[in-house]
Structure 1
């Protein structure tokens, strides 16, 4: 029987936060995001990646700004406008890492569950941790040389 849960869910939100000019601003957590929000963040991240390989820096700055604004819970507009493009990018990178950590934990839980299932026999019982010595009958007498028949 498993001792630890393979997935630990909570409805209590403990938001991570960043400081801007000494004031605390919270970031949304992955658990708060709807499926549509999660998809939007993935699509916006892909868009930024594509824009980063091109020459349209204005479009990239705009996309980063839009993404950073959606990561923050209640950041006043006048505070957000004062951030540089690299600071907004830093917000998106921190937020993305938090999302990836959650996905890594979920992947680890799935891998652990699969590994635990592989350790079980077809009946569902765990295999015996008995001796690795052969259980074949031991010879109790006679010679091990082949016998010659006349």
Structure 2
């Protein structure tokens, strides 16, 4: 029987935060996002990557600003408007890393589940790794010499 949960979910929100001019501003967490919000963030991130490869700096600044603003919880507009483009980009990078950490935890949980299931026999019992006897069929004829490639 499993000792640890395969997935640990909580309905209590513990938001990460950043400081802007010594004032705390919270970031949304991945668990708070709706499916539509998650899709919006993914699409906006892809748009920024595409814009970064081009030379439309104004469009990229606008996209980064939109993304950064949606990451923050209740940040006054005048505070947000005082941030530089580089600072807004830093907010989006921190937020993206937080989302990726969550996805990595989920991927780890899935990988653990798969590995745990591979260690079990069809009856649910764990397979034995103690035997060194091969379960492969014995050769009944033919040569064991390697064949030349044709």
- Give the TM-score taking structure 1 as reference length: 0.86
Structure 1, unmatched stretches of 5+, are 135-150
Q: Within the alignment, does 1:29 sit opposite 2:29 as a pair? A: yes
Q: Which residue number corresponds to residue 61 of structure 1?
A: 61
Query: Which of structure 1's runs of 4+ aligned residues deviate more than 4 A?
Result: none
Q: Which residue number corresponds to residue 100 of structure 1?
A: 100
Bigger mean CA offset, 124-133 vs 44-53: 124-133
Q: Mark the structure with the bigger radius of gyration.
A: 1
- Give the TM-score taking structure 2 as reference length: 0.86
Structure 2, unmatched stretches of 5+, are 135-150
Q: 1:122 deviation in Å?
A: 1.0
RMSD: 1.2
Q: Within the alignment, does 1:78 sit opposite 2:82 as a pair? A: no
Cα deviation code 1:54-110 (max 9, x no counterpart): 111011000000000000011000100000000000000000000000000000000
Report the 3-state secondary structure (helix = DSSP H, G, I; strand = E; otherwise coil) of the residue aligned with 1:126.
coil
